[in-house]
Amino acid sequence: MKIYSTYKIVAVSIVLLLCGINFIPMSTSQTIKRYDEPSQKTILDGQILFAPMDSGITYLIDNAGEVTHTWQSNYFPGESAYLLDDGTLLRTIKLSFIYGGDGGGVQKINWTGSLIWDYRYYTDNYLSHHDIHPLPNGNVLMIAWEFKSRVEAVTAGRNPDRLVGNTLMPDHIVEVKPTGPTSGDIVWVWHVWDHLVQDYDHTKDNYGVVGDHPELIDINYGYTTADWLHTNSIDYNVEFDQILLSVRNFNEIWVIDHSTTTEEAAGHIGGNGGKGGDLLYRWGNPQAYHAGNAADEKFFAQHDASWVETGYPGAGNILVFNNAGGRIGLVHTTIDEITPPVDSSGTYDLESGSAYDPAVQTWIYDSDFYAFIIGGVTRLPNGNTLICNGPLGRFFEVTPDGTTVWEYLNSYPSPAMNNVFKIQYIPPEEPPNPDVPNLNCEGSLSWTKVHGGKTVDGSFQIENIGGVDSLLHWRVNVSTIDWGTWSFTPEFGENLTPLDGKITVQVSVRAPDEKNSEFQGYIRVENTDNPNDFDVIPVILKTPMNVLSLQEMIHSFFIKHKLQYLFFEKLWNVYLKLKNVSNNPIL
């Protein structure tokens, strides 16, 4: 299923002809509108992160629309980007140009612009797309398609008349743990394919009454195209350990249980919810599970479903950018907020034979535009709502009564190509506690063509960027690296102050005695007083083919055949003598 350079070159060439997409314009016409709202704080107190869909640059802007920081990538986004607490950019990348929202990988770029993680999830069997979400443990959730053949789809109960072409692309979710600069371990997986129901083919194991199984997904509902579901956003609830998905082509949002093991996620029991990987909650279109009709449908080709953060007005509610694709009568985009019927344990109430509550939205913002694709929304700490009209590249903030109090029109990479998938609000930083340290590391370690058993050297730097009176106690931890013999000078330190600046740690490692191999990992530097304050140094080491062994082999060949070599040498000398005689005859 991979389509490589042809599509990419064509797409990139067209964009490059239109504008210099990977360069910050020397001057741009920024459109900022401020509104008099003295009684309320607005977005002006924070910043906004966004990655234009036709650019390799990710931007951070301030309250005046001025760019305060950028990160450069060699790829378009595919499609989302997030700023982590340590100033690192977590950004999807687009390696495929076949389907809407396709991606193929994710990168981490630190504040200074160094690429510290470049992970690909793109083969003939799967392709990541649209959105990702960083987890508190440092892992990353990714949405991806998997490619099923026509035979596999029909075997799973798909009506052949509802198949266009020879491929069906159901979604799955993977949790990736970064293990090296280009590597990662998949530590958790959830597949739609494990939770199907259908009432078309009674000979299949998943045959049943769709209306009796709201926890399952009807394989014959929705679109007939290969991209059957088109899941376009993912969010995570720390309190309940649950995942929220926006499933565009079902006009629904789904909640699944992340507390399961991968084995439980493939079944119907286990996890905090006791349902394994089955749906815990769904809302927006009860037709999808035979619990309503067209009049009950609330979502229409929606994007960017997210929980309102704890401590914010409406905490625990769900916000959705409701595009209005296919909506009859009200053909303009709305922002919808719902209050899900969930208790303190994360259990969702459902009356048998009915649709999930609520019956109506808690809050609706009626816009004056129609975003036919993309878009985003987030709740702000002050109770206002920040909206991204993706196709127009317009970001604006509204109060609960719908009054616009701040507005920005993106002009990157050009005013004519300024569409943005979604945005992230970055609240202002609290002043650091003068007594609290903050560990920061800079640098990476990369060695190539290192012969097995040889020792190589490198270095990285550590600093305390915390409060002015803080003291940092730190140590180096290589417990996650299972190769090489390591030494550090110094290996730990105490009482590092911000005024001390950066200190350099010298590194030596004896390479594993393995030829033609690549080794990756991370050195973890920790604040010994706070396990949540740490940084990592990416490491990569490559050993070549053992050239020395090849030389020794050639030498041994000549030694082994020494007698033959001496014979030919004597024969050659005789030839030279005879030739000399013929060229200088005795007269």
pLDDT(271) > 90:
yes
Question: What distance in Å separates the CA atoms of residue 453 and residue 447, rounded to the nearest whole number?
Answer: 13
The yes-or-no verdict on residue 2 having pLDDT over 50 is no
Query: For the segment 197-220, what is each residue's pLDDT rounded down to a tens digit?
Result: 999 999 999 999 999 999 999 999
Domains of the chain by residue range: 127-140+147-170+190-373, 439-543, 551-583
Token pair belonging to 20:
């210099």
CATH architecture of 439-543: Sandwich (2.60)
Write out the DSSP string of 90-104: EEEEE---SSTTB-E
Q: Report pLDDT for 44.
A: 61
The pLDDT tens digits for 488-506 are 999 999 999 999 999 999 9
Question: Measuring CA to CA, how many Å separate 265 from each of 49, 277, 501, 524?
Answer: 33, 4, 48, 31
At 3, the pLDDT band (50, 70, 90 cuts) reads very low
Model confidence pLDDT, tens digit, residues 368-411: 999 999 999 999 999 999 999 999 999 999 999 999 999 999 99
End-to-end CA distance of the chain: 83
pLDDT value of position 21: 42
The answer to whether residues 321 and 333 touch, using CB atoms and an 8 Å cutoff, is yes
Which pLDDT score, from 0 to 100, does residue 562 have? 52
pLDDT score of 24:
42
Lowest mean pLDDT among 163-177, 337-351, 430-444, 499-513: 430-444
Q: What are phi and psi of 25, to 5 degrees?
A: -60, 145
Please say if the pLDDT value at position 26 is more than 60.
no
For residue 532, the model assigns a pLDDT of 86
Q: What single string gives the DSSP state of each residue in 165-223?
A: SSEE--EEEEEEEEEETTEEEEEEEEEGGGSEEBSS-TTSTTBS-GGG-TTSEETTSS-
Which residues on neighbouring strands pair with residue 496, listed in sequence order? 472
Q: What is the pLDDT of residue 212?
A: 97
pLDDT higher than 80, residue 566 = no
Across the beta sheet with 171-180, the strand order is 126-134, 140-146, 171-180, 183-191
Q: What is the mean pLDDT of the chain?
A: 89
- Residue 258: pLDDT over 80: yes
pLDDT in tens, 273-299: 999 999 999 999 999 999 999 999 999
Question: Comparing 545 with 242, which gets the higher pLDDT?
Answer: 242
**How many angstroms from the chain centroid is the CA of residue 7?**
22
Residues whose CB falls within 8 Å of the CB of residue 145, separated by 6 or more in sequence, listed in order: 99, 126, 127, 129, 169, 170, 171, 172, 227
Taking 90 as the threshold, does the pLDDT of residue 555 lie above it?
no
* Confidence bin at 351 (pLDDT 50/70/90): very high
Q: How far is CA 422 from the centre of its chain?
A: 14
Residue 329 pLDDT: 81
Measured in whole angstroms, the distance separating CA 50 from the mean position of its chain's CA atoms is 14
Residue 122 CB contacts under 8 Å (≥ 6 apart), including other chains: 2, 95, 96, 103, 104, 105, 128
Tell me the angle at which helices 547-560 and 562-583 cross, rounded to the nearest 10 degrees. Answer: 70
**Distance between CA 436 and CA 455 in Å, rounded?**
38
- Is 421 or 552 the better-scoring residue by pLDDT? 421
pLDDT for 161 equals 96
User: Which has the minimum average pLDDT: 162-176, 505-519, 536-550?
Assistant: 536-550
What confidence score (pLDDT) does residue 331 get? 85
* Mean pLDDT of the 15-30 span: 43
pLDDT category of residue 565 using cuts at 50, 70 and 90 = low
Q: What is the DSSP string of 421-482?
A: EEEEEEPPPPPPPTT---EEEE--EEE-SPPTT-EEEEEEEEEE-S-TT--EEEEEE-TT--
DSSP 333-346: -EEEEE---B-TTS
Model pLDDT for residues 418-442, shown as the tens digit of each residue: 999 999 999 998 777 888 999 999 9
pLDDT of residue 1: 44
Q: Are 122 and 143 in contact (CB under 8 A)?
A: no
Q: What is the pLDDT of residue 576?
A: 61
Whole-angstrom CA distances from 216 to 199, 236, 443, 481 are 12, 21, 48, 41
What is the pLDDT at residue 63?
86
pLDDT in tens, 42-63: 556 899 999 999 999 999 999 8
CA–CA separation, 193 and 173 (whole Å) = 11
Give the C-alpha separation, 29 to 460, whole Å.
Answer: 41
64-121 residue pLDDT tens: 899 999 999 999 999 999 999 989 999 999 999 989 999 999 999 999 899 999 999 9
